[in-house]
A and B are shown apart, each in its own frame.
Chain A
Amino acid sequence: EIVVTQSPGTLSLAPGERATLSCRASQSVSSSYLAWYQQKLGQAPRLLIYGASSRATGIPDRFSGSGSGTDFTLTISRLEPEDFAVYYCQQYGSSSTFGGGTKVEIK
């Protein structure tokens, strides 16, 4: 089973700043089958990115995904107040596993 590790565990930033979240897999993720989700307290997750870099429908272009192989990144170019949440990555190239999450909190 591929183990997925996210870092940092918590990111403290101010609105308007750039957020860079990391997702590392223990083995290469085939076909860049890597997705990112946003989850707010008490809500179901929302799909942001699939295929490592494709934005889901309705997702603002301040969210971007990049990477391949074992190292992937989610970048939020300028944090809006509604972006403070927990973010998860998921590999689906070999069965599936989620990372442990990164909490983006207001500094």
Chain B
Amino acid sequence: EVQLVESGGGVVRPGGSLRLSCAASGFTFDDYGMNWVRQAPGKGLEWVSGINWIGGDTGYADSVKGRFAISRDNAKNSLYLQMNSLRAEDTALYHCARWGGYCSGGSCYIDYWGQGTLVTVSS
């Protein structure tokens, strides 16, 4: 069974940093690209970032470019999101999500989602 379990969320002040982690199991992690997708409370889905299976191709939403960095450690079956210079508008539930197919350009459609970790940016 595919499982994606996020951690690392919490409350942080504007301008602060957080590092999110996603532990993957139930599939061969280095065969799949991965995304981070967020959802602010009561709002819609927003794609944040994606990375291909070997980490050589990444993509970012304009809203986070230059502030967030996606990475992966295939030996640890783990995905990460380093978030710097956080703003109030970054407050959301952050989902780790698996690519459903072979895509290029730093993103793909999603066939499995984690339940998310909540990030709150507030003073």
Contacts and interface: CB of A to CB of B under 8 A. Distances in A.
Interface residues of B, number: 26
A94 B105 contact: yes
The listed residue with most A CB atoms (<10 A of its CB), out of B35, B62, B100, is: B100
Interface string B79-118: 0000000000000000100001101011111110111100
Given A47-B100, A50-B101, A98 B109 contact: no
B95 A35 contact: no
Contact of A96 (B59, B95, B115, B116): B59
A92 B105 contact: yes
B122 to A, nearest CB: 23
Most chain B beta-carbon neighbours within 10 Å: one of A47, A95, A101: A95
Interface of B: 35, 37, 44-47, 50, 59-62, 95, 100-101, 103, 105-111, 113-116
Interface of A: 1, 33, 35, 37, 39, 44-45, 47, 50-51, 56, 86, 88, 90, 92-101
